[in-house]
Amino acid sequence: MTALRLYNTLTRTKEDFVPIDPQNVRMYVCGPTVYDYAHIGNARPAIVFDVLFRLLRHVYGPDHVTYVRNITDIDDKINARALERRGTRNVPILDVVRELTEETYGVYRDDVTALGCLQPSAMPRATENIAPMIAMTKTLIDNGHAYEASGHVLFDVSSKADYGKLSRRSTDDMIAGARVDVAPYKKNPMDFVLWKPSDANTPGWDSPWGRGRPGWHLECSAMIQSTFTGTDTIDIHGGGIDLVFPHHENEIAQSEGAHHEHPLAKVWMHNGFLNVEGEKMSKSLGNFVTINELLADWPGDVLRFNMLRSHYRQPMDWTVAGMRESWNTLEKWYDIVEPIPGTDVGEDLLAALADDLNTPLAIAELHKSRPEELAGGLALLGFSVKPEALKSKKAVDTAAIERAIEARLAARKAKDFKESDRIRDELLAQGIVLKDSPQGTTWEVKK
């Protein structure tokens, strides 16, 4: 197979991937903050790094890859939700945090399983790694990288000469990007929190600096250290592009500061952002879609396929039209491969994936491949290849809807509004709602 090449955010180049230990390739990806249901943007890193996990397993052997995805279950948004949820109940706040995060993480796990993602090798929780967080903070104070001030422990950014090497930002940009609160106890506005005090209504743990809780960045550095034992440096660290600064920059500062400047990761990989129908997803725009609600209407394989049609580093636009096309393609392919148990993987497909996970090219190769290779390729990419899953999902026949939309358009052009209304009402009776816009007509399943 052609050598695996990956784009490294740290060097801004595509590099040959050479594992530190081919017997144990180590990858860490920042996982979800489990305060609410995950949205379709959160599905992107889950799927992208699952494809990489599968590719690494294919190349190095299934027993030679360790993929860790953490669970951020301590965070201010979680604390706020937990406080609301506790209401007047007389229970420790940490118990309510556990209740909430168990519930949301359970949904996340089921969602990403439905998207065809393999279970990572380990899924450490922040709340179960407080001791290594305290230990790392102590180390950083002892070696001059951190200081205590007003019950907080802060990382002293001026102590690390190469701070900013991942994001390559100027100091001014960093200050603006971090939206740093200029607290009076900070030596430098860019200094970030390793440990902060907790009041009685906030989860906290005893520490040499009083009862408190870790900063978000510290959680990952400590979980990497405690999960990947015996090494300071892992092969791949991943997450969404929004994490480059400050999160990953600060993980590097902490881990290198605590580990004799040994690099935290050789390769830093970041997926681009996902927008919905051309717009940034946000609750206020009303275009916020959770994985869970999409799975009620669409098979997981269709969501996965739609995601992989874009290269992971490019921004991607999530559209219903794209989902429809994805469904049509998969339906066609599943009819071809159904009787074939596929393990053959075409060289062209592998070459596309080996070139920095070029999934759009991989899909183009699948279009050209023989049925045996199509079956093998779909399996390698993590598709269930269960035709019944596509058919039984709901009685929506996407091709028929498309034909009806076309017929309605033709009727409108001919000014036959009676006919165009009839078609719209007929679809509505089947639970399909049409939406007209200057860009054309889209449809969705009625809620």
Asked whether the CA dihedral 268, 11, 280, 301 is positive or negative, the reply is negative
In the complex with Zn ion, the residue whose CB is nearer, 100 or 220, is 220
Q: Which of residues 26, 44, 138, 186 is near ligand AMP by CB under 6 A?
A: 44
Between 240 and 300, name the residue whose CB sits nearer to ligand AMP: 240
432 binds ligand AMP (CB under 6 A): no
326 makes contact, choosing from Zn ion, ligand AMP, none, with CB < 5 to 8 Å by partner type, with: none
The contacts of residue 229 (CB under 8 Å, 6+ apart) are none
Q: How far, in Å, CA of 431 to CA of 218, rounded?
A: 48
Q: Which partner in Zn ion, ligand AMP, none is near 220 (CB below 5 to 8 A by kind)?
A: Zn ion
Which residue number, 19 or 240, has a Cβ lying nearer to ligand AMP?
240
User: What single-letter amino acid sits at 198?
Assistant: S
Q: Among 25, 27, 224, 243, which residue interacts with ligand AMP (rule: CB under 6 A)?
A: 243
The helix (run of H) or strand (run of E) holding residue 103 is: helix 93-114
CB of 277 to ligand AMP, least distance (A): 13
Nearer to ligand AMP, 212 or 239 (CB): 239
Given candidates 4, 6, 8, 45, which one binds ligand AMP under the rule CB under 6 A?
45
Name the minimum Å distance from CB 115 to ligand AMP: 13
Q: For residue 276, which amino acid is it?
A: V
Task: Give me the least distance between CB of 401 and ligand AMP, in Å please.
Answer: 27
Write down the residue that tokens 């992989």 correspond to.
308
Cβ neighbours of 335 (radius 10 Å):
12
Dihedral sign from CA coordinates of 9, 11, 14, 15: negative
Residues 97, 299: Cα–Cα separation, whole Å:
32
x-or-dash pattern for Zn ion, window 2-41, by CB under 5 A?
----------------------------x-----------
Assess 136 for contact with Zn ion (CB under 5 A). Answer: no
Within 8 A by CB and 6+ apart from 278, the residues are 317, 319
Tell me: does residue 42 bind ligand AMP (CB under 6 A): yes
User: What residues numbered 272-301 form the site for ligand AMP, per CB under 6 A?
Assistant: 273-274, 281
Whether residue 222 contacts residue 184, with contact meaning beta carbons closer than 8 Å, is answered with no
SS3 373: helix
- Site map (CB under 5 A) of Zn ion, residues 188-227, x = contact: --------------------------------x-------
Binding site partner of 42, from ligand AMP, Zn ion, none, Cβ cut-off 5-8 A by kind: ligand AMP
Residue among 268 and 383 whose Cβ is closer to Zn ion = 268
Choose the contact partner of 44 out of Zn ion, ligand AMP, none; CB within 5 to 8 A by kind.
Answer: ligand AMP
The CB-of-35 to ligand AMP minimum distance in angstroms stands at: 8
Closest CA to 308 of 29, 114, 47: 47
The single residue among 4, 25, 30, 404 that binds ligand AMP, judged by CB under 6 A, is 30
Site size toward ligand AMP (CB under 6 A) is 15
> Does 382 interact with ligand AMP (rule: CB under 6 A)?
no
- Using the minimum distance from each CB to ligand AMP, give the nearer residue, 104 or 384: 104
Residues 173-192 that bind ligand AMP (CB under 6 A): none
Q: Please provide the size of the chain in residues.
A: 447
**Closest to 153 (Cα-Cα) out of 207, 199, 203:** 207
Query: For residue 147, what are its two tokens?
Result: 């200081």
CA–CA gap between residue 315 and residue 331 (Å, rounded): 26
Residue 109 sits at the vertex; the CA angle it makes with 236 and 93, to the nearest 5 degrees, is: 100
- Which residues neighbour 185 within 8 Å (Cβ) at sequence distance 6 or greater? 149, 150, 152, 154
Question: If binding is defined by CB under 6 A, does position 41 make contact with ligand AMP?
Answer: yes
Binder of ligand AMP out of 95, 173, 242, 388 (CB under 6 A)? 242
Task: Say how many residues touch Zn ion, by CB under 5 A.
Answer: 2
The 3-state secondary structure of 193-245 reads: EEEEECCCCCCCECCCCCCEEECHHHHHHHHHHHHCCCCCCEEEEEEEHHHHH
Which 3 state secondary structure label does DSSP give 29?
strand
> Which lies closer to ligand AMP via its Cβ, residue 96 or residue 274?
274
Residue 199 has φ and ψ, to the nearest 5°, of -85, 180
**Interface contacts to ligand AMP, rule CB under 6 A:** 30, 32-33, 41-42, 44-45, 239-240, 242-243, 271, 273-274, 281
**Interface contacts to Zn ion, rule CB under 5 A:** 30, 220
